[in-house]
Structure 1
Amino acid sequence: MIRSVVFDVGETLLKDDREWGAWADWTGVPRHTMSALVGAVTAAGLNNAEVFQLIRPGFDLAAERQLREAAGVGERIEESDLYPDVRPALEALGQAGYWVGIAGNQTTLAAKLLRRLALPVDAIATSGEWDVAKPDPGFFQRVIEFAPGKPHEILYVGDHRDNDVVPARVAGLRSGLIRRGPWGYLWANDPVVRDNADWVFDSLDALPGLLGS
């Protein structure tokens, strides 16, 4: 039985297109080029940060984030960045009695911005706050400490085979992959995902019914 549902952030709850567009503008790369690079990195199974190394070898992502903030074009998370199914699904899960949390590979600032949205969840945390990022096993140990229930009673939902589905399963959690965003579409039918994910679905609206069946 599932007691807690914990969600990844990027391309699970939030559309990443505006943030990638902001990075394209900041680095001086056309937006369609940035999209193509994200696709290439995705297909190669590499980390998102590799996009910046392709644009500028030695790119210091943390330092560039600070420069963006100082220039007034830093990280933003607004209601329009949410996928349309997010609020209804979170509300439905809470009403069904599940503890609902958010924990993803995001900055400390992103955690503050997410909290300002007043989403219907019990708690929010990010890798920036925890000082450990997926797919490190330490991240999923923090998820186990974060969410009520034994590991097999916690469902972790994300869009990424290697950052979400596989390490969650290794940690003893249940796992679900949402088929959206470049990674979700790429890996929805991947044999590794099918062997490790308890559920693969196209919309968060499906979750309450899947968990209740």
Structure 2
Amino acid sequence: MMQTFVFDVGETLTKDDRYWAGWADWLGVPRHTVSALVGVVVSQGRDNADALRLLSPDIDVDSAYHARERAGRGEYLDESDLYPDVRPALGRLRALGKRVIVAGNQTARAGELLRDLDLPADAVVTSGDWGVAKPDPAFFERVLELAKAPAERTVYIGDHPVNDVFPPKAAGMRVAHLRRGPWGHLWADDPDVVAAADWRVASLIELTELTELRDAAGE
């Protein structure tokens, strides 16, 4: 029986639209251009920030990020950025007695914004809070410390195989691959993902339904 559910953030709990739109507006390019380039570089296995470097080869992404913050045009999240199944699914898992953790590759500022949303979760942390990011195994060591459950009774849920499927699986955790957002759809039927994922779901509600069935069966 699974005890702890750990959720990725971008394109698992939140839509990335606002984040990349903010960068497009800051650089003065069409939003679709940035979105398309992000898709290209990630499908090539590159860091998504490479999309910004293609548009502005001399950009220092960290410096530009802080310049946006100082200009009042930095990161922002509100209820509209959440996928509609997030609160019902996380709330249902907690009602089932599960520990719910949010842990993804986001800035410390994003962590503050997520905590301000008062999600039905026992803890909300980001790579910016910890100083270590996926897919580094140390990130998942921290996840398991926070999970307060054995690895085999901890589920990591996310959309991106390189960050959310293979590393937690290597750490001994169970994995649910979410077919959501560009990365979730792009790799939904990849043979390696199919082989590694314990569950493949199209929504977080589907995950809770599977959990209820497994609990009822004592699995």
TM-score (norm 1): 0.97
Partner of 2:33: 33
Partner of 2:105: 105
Partner of 1:176: 176
Q: What is the deviation of 1:46?
A: 1.8
- Where 1:94 maps in the other structure, the secondary structure is helix
Q: What is the deviation of 1:207?
A: 1.2
- For residues 77 and 147 of structure 2, the distance between their equivalents in structure 1, rounded to whole angstroms, comes to 24
Partner of 1:140: 140
RMSD of the alignment, in Å?
A: 0.9
Contact 2:12 2:158 (8 Å CA) reproduced: yes
- For residues 206 and 46 of structure 1, the distance between their equivalents in structure 2, rounded to whole angstroms, comes to 30
Structure 2 unmatched runs, 5+: 215-219
- Where 1:102 maps in the other structure, the secondary structure is strand
Residue type matched to 1:120 in 2? P
Contact 1:105 1:133 (8 Å CA) reproduced: yes
- Where 2:5 maps in the other structure, the secondary structure is strand
Partner of 2:165: 165
- For residues 197 and 41 of structure 2, the distance between their equivalents in structure 1, rounded to whole angstroms, comes to 23
Residue type matched to 1:12 in 2? T
- Where 2:177 maps in the other structure, the secondary structure is strand
Determine what percentage of the aligned residue pairs are the same residue: 55
Residue type matched to 1:189 in 2? D
Partner of 1:49: 49
- Where 2:29 maps in the other structure, the secondary structure is coil
- For residues 140 and 163 of structure 2, the distance between their equivalents in structure 1, rounded to whole angstroms, comes to 10
Moved more, 146-155 or 42-51: 42-51
- Where 2:166 maps in the other structure, the secondary structure is helix
Contact 2:169 2:196 (8 Å CA) reproduced: yes
Residue type matched to 1:112 in 2? E
Residue type matched to 1:32 in 2? H
Q: What is the deviation of 1:58?
A: 4.0
- For residues 205 and 198 of structure 1, the distance between their equivalents in structure 2, rounded to whole angstroms, comes to 16
Please list, as runs of the form range in 1=range in 2, the aligned pairs for 1:1-150 lying within 5 A after superposition: 1-150=1-150
TM-score (norm 2): 0.95
Partner of 1:206: 206
- For residues 192 and 47 of structure 2, the distance between their equivalents in structure 1, rounded to whole angstroms, comes to 18
How many residues align structurally?
213
- For residues 191 and 92 of structure 1, the distance between their equivalents in structure 2, rounded to whole angstroms, comes to 31
- For residues 152 and 172 of structure 2, the distance between their equivalents in structure 1, rounded to whole angstroms, comes to 6
Say if 1:58 and 1:132 are closer, same or farther in 2 by CA, change over 3 A: farther
Structure 1 unmatched runs, 5+: none
Question: Could you list the runs of 4 or more consecutive aligned residues of structure 1 that deviate by over 4 angstroms after TM superposition?
Answer: none
Contact 1:42 1:182 (8 Å CA) reproduced: no
> After superposition, what is the alpha-carbon deviation per residue over 1:13-62, rounded to whole angstroms, capped at 9, x for unaligned?
00001111110011122111112101211321222111112112242222
